Amino acid sequence: MTVYTLTSSAYAAEAVQKKWYRYYDKNGVANISTSVTPAHIRNGYEVLGSNMQVIQRNHAYNTEQDVKQSNSRASVARQKEQDLKLKRAYGSSKVAESKRNEQFGSIKKQIALQQDQLKQLQADRINFKRQEMEYFRKGSPVPTQLKNNIKYNADNINNTKSTIESLHISYGNTQAYYDDIIQRLKVSE
């Protein structure tokens, strides 16, 4: 009696799990099989239970739609790969914020040094111009060395201003770069 019960329950479980796959061809003829064939995929198919009730409907495979979606799937896959690299590189958004703040501190120090240098160059320029005015007042020719000093000083002032401007741009770029990283890390946490 026990063997019969086990056999009948195993048979019943197998019957419950048995699935059929039905698709309709271009002529409207129903085709039923126990496995999914390429024709099922091309035409779309229904999964039927052992009592031939529809369990699930699968739409026909659309190559044009798949091609359109392949770019977005590739983009999503690249994004996930980059997010994993970020996770490995930083570990968490807190670490990324710390790195960002270190970068900010470094850039701010560089800006402060460049601004100090600019102030010194501007003070030197005032001295050079005073010396030049003294020569003009006396009616004497301005020495070549003083003219060169004024020219080099003006060049250095322009270069320093340019460096300060590029450091401000770098600060903004660093902020945007880390804001993106931190946001992506927070999403994955």
Global pTM value: 0.58
Tell me the per-residue pLDDT of 118-156, one tens digit each, with 9 for 90 and over: 999 999 999 999 999 999 999 999 999 999 999 999 999
Please name the residues in contact with 51: beta carbons below 8 A apart, sequence gap of 6 or more. Answer: none
Tell me the per-residue pLDDT of 75-115, one tens digit each, with 9 for 90 and over: 888 988 988 898 899 889 999 999 999 999 999 999 999 99
Tokens of 106: 């470094």
Tokens of 146: 């003083």
CB 52 within 8 A of CB 20: yes
% the chain with pLDDT above 90: 50
CB 41 within 8 A of CB 57: no
* Three-class DSSP labels, 5-16: HHHHHHHHHHHH
Exposed, middle or buried by CB within 10 Å (0-12, 13-18, 19+), for 110?
Answer: middle
Distance CA 34, CA 47 (A): 10
Strand arrangement, sheet containing 54-58? 30-33, 20-24, 45-48, 54-58
Distance CA 90, CA 93 (A): 7
Three-state SS at 189? coil
Distance CA 128, CA 131 (A): 5
Flag whether pLDDT at 74 surpasses 90.
no
CB 164 within 8 A of CB 115: yes
